[in-house]
Every structure is written in structure tokens, then in C-alpha cells.
């Protein structure tokens, strides 16, 4: 039995549609959500399922069990403390022992050292990763690279998924960190303990540490990218002199409403696959793990539509730093420096005068992993394709390709649009990323990537300013 309760808001007036939102013929999200980022939400699929005035009464309404899910230590200050109370039919502890899952056969890495990964400062690009025949979301996961160690709760990882089929009576849980999921091809219909999320290309979904979820593929095969952080949680970047509005606005984040499955004990076996210290384990149980009838708290999954990003940019001269395109950040202990930033390059106006408008040539003290959801990236219109990726490692030179340079230095500068129909993104990190053997040796690695810069015209003339 499925049950949910939520008030469906009226459709927005056409004049309220912000520029750059999805086309009218895009599939409609069938689910309803709570609005806001980091809020304390209360959600019931059955009226009265939440206890009144306390978290753990002797007997919960409807005979449910109370269970706390902690996203931070108990003693973290109130401004950063994250936890939720779940009221469920079965306590989640009702499963059989975990056993190794696909031992040695999965493609996930959780410790990035010389035994498990390789390293190179060379600029790397991958053509689109092919769909993995017959595999679901979990089994298709492959680690491209990362840094640190899950056991030390330090570092991050970058993964891709290339799923062909939906998960069937299977749930996934990550004990190692938070997952920021970027679908590139096909929607993800995500069942979580907190409710349902539909994540389409040009949207993201964030599933935090310890939350169980399952992924169905309503559009068939699906491909995308995942940024995993081992310490801390994603938050909105500080706006500084921008003010109190702009970039990703809190009201545009969507958190699911309570919805539950009540399955008869013993009717069907469920598999709960747990990623723990970079390894996969599986436990069997005789009921659905998605039997949470009500919940309240501020530790919950969410999604965000990238088309709602309020772009900030230069309206005078020069190409501003890409940090102004940051959607979410996972801060480090060093102020102003991130374990990971999620940055996008959305459709926008460009009006800078007497300016080299593409992204400038750069050597960075951060690592930059880029992916393309759709369209053509403004600095490399060619081999950088949707479903592919690139990595520019710490202090490795990078920048626009030769044809972009020629166009940018010779065209007449007029106010205009850039990146319409395009969405590129970047995972940027303070860590130096090591690559898995799978990524280094992948047949889709573009070994000719370096040629993108070889024909940049050299125009130096010491006799002419």
C-alpha cells in the first residue's frame, strides 16, 4: 500500500516563469514538496502520525516506531546541528547481517592512494560514457577519482552512473558521505525514506549520509555524475557584497513529503546495499525500507532546478571568477576554501566591453572536474560532449581552445546571449584528485585532448603595442 498526504499548490501564472526554466513540453514532476533550504520540516502521510510535544512517546501514534537519523554529532552547535525523527512501521534495524556485495567486482573506490589509483597532472577529457547494459543505478556506479579516505571522513570522490534498468526491491545507503547527483540523460524517480523525488536533467538531487533510497528510470537508460563529500554537508555559499538575494535562492530547493510503503512481512525479499568505507555490503529483509509514515527535522534529501539559478556577472569589463556561479559548497576548516563546490555555467547575457569574454587561461590551486549536461560549452565547442567529462588538476594549465580564442579576439563585441540551450557544471575541490585505473584506461578517454590548444595563434609583436 502506498500513502501520502500533501497539499498540491496551484500552477504558477505564466508571467511568473523565470527566464531559462524548462520548456513547456518537459515532463511534469508528479510529486509535491516542501520548499526551502535547511528548514526544519514536519511531514505526515497519515494525519496525526507525528507525536505532539515530544519525540519518543511510550507508544507512537498508529503503533509506529520512533527512530532518529543524525547527520551531525549530538553536540554540534544549533546553527549546524542536523537530525530528523522518522516514525516508521518497522525499525530499520530489522534486517539480517550484512555480507560483502559483489566483492572485488564493483567499481567504487573509497581510499585514494597508490594501491588503488593513479595520478597525472595531464589535462584529461572523456567522451560520453556508454550505458552499462543490464545494470541498475548501484551496479553501474564507477569511481572516476577522488582524494582522502572514507574511514577518516576526509576528502571526496567523483563517480558516474550509466544505468539501463530500474532498481527492483533494492535500496542503497551510503555510510561514507553525502551524494550530489547530476542526471544528464533520463529522469531519476527516487524513492527515499522521506518521500519521493523526481530529478530530471538540469536538476540535481542531494541524498545525505545514511539515507536509504532506490532509483527507477521512467525514461529508460540514464546517465549522470555524482559528487560525494566525506566530511560536512552541502550548504548555500555566502553572498558577501552581493547582498541577501541571488545565486541559488533558498525557496527554490524542494524536500519530499512523507510517503510510505506498507508491505506484508515475508511477502517479498528486499536487499539493502550499504556503501561502507568504499566497499559494498548487502543485507536482506522481508519488508520495504520505505515505510516511514511521518517525519520531522532538518536532515532530509532535496532537489534543485538549475534553471532557477539567479546568475550574477560583470556588466562592465573583464570575465569575473567562476565562483560567482556556485550553487552549493561543502566548506573545509580553512575559511573561503571548499572541500567541494558545485558550480554551473548557465544561459546568461554577456555585455563586457573591450574584454576577452570566454573563461580566461588559468592555473588553479583547486582541482576542476567538469561535465556537460546538454548543449555546447562556450570555451570548447567540439570534443567536450554531453555525458562526457574533463579534469584539470591542481596548477595544470587550461583555458579556451584555439577556435574559441580566434573568435573571441576577432569578433565585434556587442551585448548578447551565451550558453543558451547549454548547461555545463564543475566540481571544484581543494584536494588533488587521484584517478582510478578504470578512468585512466577507459576507451572513452580522449588521448588527443592536448591538441585543443596547440593551434592557438601567437600574435606577439615587440614593435607594436
Would you name the residues annotated as active-site residues? 319, 362, 368, 392, 398
HEC assignment per residue over the chain? CEEECCCCCCCCCHHHCCCCCCCCCCCCCCCCEEECCCCCEEEECCCCCCCCCCCCCCCCHHHCEEEEEECCCCCCCCCCCCEEEEEECCCCCCCCCCEECCCCCCECCCECCCCCEECCCCCEEECCCCCCCCCCCCCCCEEEEEEEEHHHCEEEEEEEEEECCCCCCEEEEECCCEEEEEEEECCEEEEECCEEEEECCCEEEEECCCCCEEEECCCCCEEEEEEEECCCCCECCCCHHHCCCCECCHHHCEEECCEEECCCCCCCCEEEEEEECCEEEEEEECCCCCCEEEEEECCCCEEEEHHHCECCCCCCCCCCCHHHHEEEEEECCCCCCEEEEEEEECCEEECCCCCCCCCCCECCCCEEEEEEEECCECCECCCCCCCCEEEECCCCCECCCHHHHHHHHHCCCCCEEECCCCEEEEEEECCCCEEEHHHHCCCCECCCHHHHHCCCCCCCCCCCC
Question: Residue 247 and residue 311: Cα distance in Å, rounded?
Answer: 6
Question: Residue 159 and residue 141: Cα distance in Å, rounded?
Answer: 7
Strand partners, 262: none
Question: Residue 462 and residue 27: Cα distance in Å, rounded?
Answer: 58
Amino acid at each position: 500500500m502506498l500513502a501520502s498526504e500533501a497539499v498540491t499548490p496551484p500552477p504558477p501564472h505564466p508571467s511568473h516563469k523565470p527566464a531559462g526554466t524548462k520548456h513547456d513540453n518537459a515532463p511534469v514532476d508528479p510529486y509535491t514538496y516542501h520548499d526551502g533550504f535547511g528548514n526544519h520540516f514536519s511531514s505526515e502521510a497519515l494525519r496525526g502520525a507525528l507525536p505532539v510535544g515530544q519525540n519518543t512517546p511510550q507508544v507512537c501514534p498508529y503503533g509506529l516506531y520512533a527512530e532518529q537519523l543524525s547527520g551531525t554529532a549530538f553536540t554540534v552547535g544549533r546553527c549546524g546541528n542536523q537530525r530528523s525523527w522518522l516514525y516508521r512501521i518497522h525499525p530499520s534495524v530489522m534486517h539480517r547481517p550484512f555480507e560483502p556485495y559483489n566483492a572485488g567486482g564493483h567499481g567504487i573506490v573509497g581510499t585514494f592512494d597508490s594501491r588503488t589509483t593513479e595520478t597525472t597532472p595531464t589535462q584529461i577529457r572523456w567522451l560520453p560514457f556508454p550505458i552499462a547494459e543490464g545494470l541498475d543505478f548501484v551496479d553501474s556506479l564507477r569511481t572516476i577519482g577522488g582524494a582522502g579516505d572514507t574511514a577518516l571522513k576526509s576528502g571526496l570522490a567523483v563517480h558516474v552512473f550509466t544505468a539501463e534498468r530500474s532498481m527492483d526491491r533494492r535500496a542503497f545507503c551510503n555510510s561514507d558521505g553525502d551524494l550530489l547527483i547530476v542526471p544528464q540523460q533520463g529522469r531519476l524517480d527516487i524513492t527515499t525514506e522521506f518521500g519521493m523525488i523526481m530529478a530530471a536533467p538540469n536538476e540535481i538531487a542531494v541524498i545525505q549520509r545514511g539515507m536509504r533510497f532506490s532509483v527507477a528510470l521512467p525514461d529508460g537508460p540514464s546517465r549522470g555524475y555524482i559528487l560525494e563529500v566525506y566530511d560536512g554537508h552541502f550548504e548555500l555559499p555566502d553572498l558577501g557584497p552581493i547582498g541577501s538575494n541571488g545565486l541559488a535562492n533558498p525557496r527554490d530547493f524542494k524536500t519530499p513529503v512523507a510517503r510510505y510503503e506498507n508491505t506484508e512481512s515475508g511477502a517479498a525479499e528486499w536487499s539493502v546495499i550499504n556503501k561502507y568505507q568504499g566497499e559494498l555490503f548487502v543485507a536482506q529483509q522481508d519488508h520495504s525500507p520505505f515505510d516511514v509514515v511521518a517525519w520531522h527535522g532538518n536532515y532530509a534529501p532535496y532537489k534543485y532546478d538549475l534553471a532557477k539559478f539567479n546568475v550574477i556577472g560583470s556588466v562592465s569589463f573583464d570575465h569575473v571568477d567562476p565562483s560567482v556561479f556556485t550553487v552549493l559548497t561543502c566548506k573545509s576548516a580553512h575559511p573561503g576554501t571548499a572541500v567541494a563546490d558545485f558550480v554551473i555555467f548557465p544561459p546568461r547575457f554577456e555585455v563586457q566591453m573591450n574584454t576577452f569574454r570566454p573563461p580566461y587561461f588559468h592555473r588553479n590551486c583547486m582541482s576542476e572536474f567538469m561535465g556537460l549536461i546538454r548543449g555546447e560549452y562556450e570555451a570548447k565547442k567540439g570534443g567536450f560532449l554531453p555525458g562526457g567529462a574533463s579534469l584539470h588538476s591542481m596548477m595544470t594549465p587550461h583555458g579556451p581552445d584555439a577556435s574559441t580564442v580566434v573568435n573571441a579576439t576577432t569578433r565585434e563585441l556587442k551585448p548578447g546571449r551565451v550558453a543558451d540551450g547549454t548547461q555545463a557544471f564543475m566540481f571544484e575541490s581543494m584536494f588533488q584528485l587521484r584517478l582510478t585505473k578504470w578512468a585512466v584506461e577507459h576507451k572513452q578517454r580522449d588521448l588527443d585532448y592536448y591538441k585543443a590548444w596547440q593551434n592557438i595563434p601567437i600574435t606577439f609583436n615587440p614593435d607594436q603595442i
